[in-house]
A = this chain, B = another copy of it.
Amino acid sequence: MGESDKLKETVKQIFTEYLNQHGHRKTPERYAILDTIYSIEGHFDIDTLYSLMEGQEKFRVSRATLYNTIVLLMNARLVIKHQFGNTSQYERCYNRGTHHHQICTQCGKVTEFQNEDLQHAIEHTRLRSFNLTHYSLYIYGLCGKCERANKKMQKNNIHKKEK
């Protein structure tokens, strides 16, 4: 059994436990969604997930069910939600290293990076009467590519007004 399958098995068990504990039904749709999500490496939005499940041999599920199920998955701590841009972005979070997000304000590219010191600093911050479950750090700025592009534009004096 590959690493990926092992992971899928584990999260399936966690989800089953969660569903049992909360008196929810164990429908094939829910497991199909979980399985698909844990096949995706990075971020995804509902629409992407919908297309993925439509295209594959997998179960086809409605958007409504996707929205419903993803709430359960978030509660079960198997998925987290991000909100850069206009669409909600999700990502699986079981057994994924903590990482932070760099977002280019120009091209919108999102890059993940890890930094233990940073992670440590955040997790050990004393909070007044607040019980931390998770966090998101979004760093905005210009990615190398966009910055170089801008410099070139400035040189050529093409740039006069922004959009």
1/0 per residue, CB under 8 A from B, across A123-163: the answer is 00101111111111111111110010000000000001110
Chain B, residue nearest A150 (CB): B131
- Tell whether, in the assembled complex, residue A113 and residue B138 are in contact, meaning their CB atoms are under 8 Å apart: no
Chain B, residue nearest A100 (CB): B125
1/0 per residue, CB under 8 A from B, across A89-106: the answer is 000000000000010110
A40: interface (CB < 8 Å): no
Known: A22-B161, A22-B162, A83-B84. A139 touches B132 (CB 8 A): yes
Tell me which residues across on chain B come within 8 A of A104, comparing CB atoms: 130
A121: interface (CB < 8 Å): yes
- Tell whether, in the assembled complex, residue A118 and residue B127 are in contact, meaning their CB atoms are under 8 Å apart: no
- Tell whether, in the assembled complex, residue A102 and residue B117 are in contact, meaning their CB atoms are under 8 Å apart: no
A75: interface (CB < 8 Å): yes
Q: In the complex, which of the residues B23, B127, B130 contacts A160, with contact meaning CB atoms closer than 8 Å? A: B23
User: How many chain A residues touch B (Cβ–Cβ < 8 Å)?
Assistant: 39
Tell me which residues across on chain B come within 8 A of A22, comparing CB atoms: 161-162
Chain B, residue nearest A117 (CB): B121
Known: A23-B161, A83-B83, A84-B83. A131 touches B147 (CB 8 A): yes
* 10 extra A-B contacts, CB within 8 A, seeds A22-B161, A117-B125: A102-B130, A104-B130, A115-B125, A125-B139, A127-B139, A130-B142, A131-B142, A134-B141, A136-B140, A137-B137
Q: Which A residues fall within an 8 A CB radius of B?
A: 22-24, 75, 83-84, 102, 104-105, 111, 113, 115, 117-118, 121-122, 125, 127-144, 147, 160-162
